[in-house]
Amino acid sequence: MGAERMSKQGTSRTALMAAVALVCAVTVLAAPGAAFAAPAPTPSPSTTPAGSKPLKTKDLEAVRAKIDKLYHDAAVATDAYNAATEKAEKQSVEIVKLAQKIAAGQSRLDRLRSSAGAAAREQYRTGGIPRETQFLLSGDPQLFLDNAGRLHQGQQATKNLLSQLTKTQEELAQYADDASAKWKQLDEGAKEKAAAKKKVEKQIKEAQQLENKLEKKERERLRKLEEEAEQKRQTAWLSSGVLKEINGKATPAGKKAVQFATAQLGKPYVWGAEGPKSYDCSGLTSQAWAAAGHGIPRTSQEQWKQLKHIDVKDMRPGDLIIYHDDASHVGMYIGDGAIIHAPRPGRTVTVAGAGSMAILGVVRPDA
């Protein structure tokens, strides 16, 4: 029964993805006014009093454009926050390793000093003349020959001991300097992280305040305008015939990544989150590929920088589509012209058209 249920769930998800792609492909929408033109600046709307005229479409479009920009800026700041977090984690690991090296070096230095102290005490007991030298001065030729090698060895041992002491002291000083530098970087990173956090929260709060000033019906119209804009872009993308060229098959790892992402459908977007209860866009993609056995960068910008770039026509399920000129958003391609992504605050992990946003390029985690 469990296997049958999983099979049915898989079938329904596949049907959902295919349905989304089909609807996007056949829906031809009239352009809603100047939906994609840069709107002229307009005053922020206030709550519409009961009985007053609702906002005109062009005014609502201006609101939508402003909200989109605020959420876009919040996404950029979120990437900066996530990058600072990832950097801080790496620096903390490096500091721990340096601390371990310092502890081991200090222990070694203590042993070397103990050996040096023993050598000094021995010299004191023999009146300042090492035992080997006493052998040389004994007047016994055979004893001289027997111990000449020992004298040389003793001299070398003393030199080695002093050399090791010096080297260990220098290493400890370098480790301490490195640790101090890492602590400074960690402190600077914490300030960058705090600044990014403040910016994210400011942008999101401003966007939410804009939406909250609208009447319920106007918020519904705003959501409709958003959907229409996305569908129009998706329709234009599909109309280019791009799907005719895309026929790549998912690798085993790609299938695992898609399965993980699919299992997160409906979970809320939370900036900076990487599961298991909520995700931001790159938190979802990085965790999906971690579940597939491939660690990838945490942020969409680093995913764009570090992963292999491929042509859109060579795209296969599991590949990541990076959006906008600044690589501030990412979604996972699942086939049939669709992606799974975590859109923005106030939304949930969902299926969307792969061309519903401005595509920067495609990267492959398991190249």
**Nearest CA to 178 among 257, 119, 102?**
102
- Contacts of range 250-253, beta carbons closer than 8 Å, 24 or more positions apart: 250/316, 250/317, 250/318, 250/335, 251/316, 251/318, 251/366, 253/289, 253/292, 253/293, 253/294, 253/318, 253/365, 253/366
User: For this structure, is 324 an active site residue?
Assistant: no
| Residue 157: per-residue pLDDT | 60
pTM of the model as a whole: 0.65
- Asked about 24 being catalytic, the answer comes back as no
Q: What's residue 32's pLDDT? A: 30
Q: What is the pLDDT of residue 221?
A: 87
Tell me, what's the pLDDT at 191? 87
Q: How many CB atoms lie within 10 A of CB 41?
A: 7
Structure tokens at 145: 């020959």
Distance CA 324, CA 358 (A): 5
Predicted confidence at residue 236, as pLDDT, reads: 93
Residue whose pair of structure tokens reads 């999101």 in the numeric block: 204
Q: What is the 8-class DSSP label of residue 55? A: P
What averages of pLDDT result for each successive group of 10 residues across the chain (367 residues)? 38 39 34 32 44 67 85 88 86 85 79 68 54 52 53 59 76 82 84 87 88 86 89 93 88 96 97 95 97 96 96 95 96 96 95 95 95
Choosing from 24, 72, 294, 341, which is the catalytic residue?
341
Q: Which of 24, 72, 294, 329 is catalytic?
A: 329
* Structure confidence at residue 34 (pLDDT): 29
> 308 in the Ramachandran plot: left (φ > 0), alpha (ψ -120 to 50) or beta?
beta
* 341 carries an active-site annotation: yes
Given a contact cutoff of 8 angstroms between Cβ atoms, the answer to whether 267 and 349 are in contact is yes
